[in-house]
Amino acid sequence: MYLYFETERLAVRQYTINDVDELLKIMSDARVHTYTKDKHHPWDKQRTEEYIQFMINKNFKTLDCFHGAVIEKAANQLIGLCGLNPYQVNEPEIEFKIGVPYWGKGYATELGKHMIKAAFATTDIKGIYGMAQQENLASRKVLEKIGMHYLGNQIFRNHEDSFYYIANTKLSSHANVCGT
């Protein structure tokens, strides 16, 4: 199993098929999806299995495009997911979802800061976007805390979202396209 990166309290690693039940506990909770396209469709076991199998098959090994399981190291517990999704060429979109029992502990901020730092240190992406629904003040605050700058609102996935961006200050001339 591949380890993408670690923070003080968290580890982000590739999925295994044994993660289905733990991820299902998180993704079947409608509160996790309050501000997402899945707002009215929390995940069921089949969707969770399909997602994990898709990610296992992708076998991501770089941080320019990946999805991983977020593990709370102290309890060795899966508490969420994170990744960098294709968005613009060489400029992915950051994503993270943390289970409700782990909200308010600073995990999203810790995760986001380290994900950006690790991706910029090990890839040639030129920047990372972040999007959050306008009403999702907690996520918008996290995007600001992790160093992203507010760009304004745009239509994204049929909804007006607040857009954020952080540039890689070590710009490379090499293009790296995130293919899925």
- Is the pLDDT at 180 greater than 70, yes or no? no
Q: Which CATH class for the 3-167 domain?
A: alpha beta
In this prediction, residues 27-40 reach a mean pLDDT of 90
- CA–chain centroid gap for 79, Å, is 12
pLDDT tens digit sequence for 148-168: 999 999 988 788 899 999 999
Q: Where are the domains of the chain?
A: 3-167
**What residue type is assigned to position 17 of the chain?**
I
What pLDDT is stored for residue 36 in this prediction?
A: 85
Confidence of residue 178 (pLDDT cuts 50, 70, 90): very low
3-class secondary-structure state, position 151 = strand
- CA–chain centroid gap for 3, Å, is 15
What pLDDT is stored for residue 171 in this prediction?
A: 63
- CA–chain centroid gap for 154, Å, is 20
Against a cut of 0.75, is the pTM above it? yes
- Is the pLDDT at 110 greater than 50, yes or no? yes
Write the CB contacts of 57 (distance below 8 Å, at least 6 apart in sequence): none
**Is the Cβ–Cβ distance between 50 and 67 less than 8 Å?**
no
Task: For the chain, give the percent of residues with pLDDT over 70.
Answer: 94
